[in-house]
Amino acid sequence: MKPIPTGLVACGIAGALLLVSARPAHATLDMQKKAKAAGIAGVNCLYCHNEKLPKKGASSNNERGKWLCAEKDKRKAKEIDLAWLKDYVEKK
């Protein structure tokens, strides 16, 4: 049996560490479930973000997402409540 090249082992370890240390985005599946329970239809990541699968620190918000962040600051809330979307008026 041939020994595994050191570079390949190092890449494997680095890849595993990257996956383990990756942080989830602010939006979660739980948030989506709460929004649907509140009667807000069509909720997925693209509903508030510009990316299909946003990553924390590397995502951008669309107008709806920017509005939610502003509401969080305005209400001095600890986290975003997607039920606030009932008050959101979409720009035309």
pTM recorded for the entire structure:
0.64
Mean pLDDT of 20-47: 72
Nearest-angstrom CA–CA distance, 45 and 14? 28
Domain membership of residue 78 (yes or no) is yes
Reduced to 3 states (helix: H, G, I; strand: E, B; else coil), residue 31 is helix
pLDDT tens, 40-69? 876 788 889 899 888 877 889 999 999 999
Sign of CA dihedral 43, 88, 28, 19: positive
The pLDDT confidence band at residue 72, using thresholds 50, 70 and 90, is: very high
Domain membership of residue 79 (yes or no) is yes
Assigned token pair, 23: 């942080």
Domain membership of residue 66 (yes or no) is yes
Domain membership of residue 70 (yes or no) is yes
pLDDT of residue 15: 57
Q: Which domain holds residue 35?
A: 24-87
Domain membership of residue 33 (yes or no) is yes
Phi (first) and psi of residue 49, to 5 degrees: -115, 165
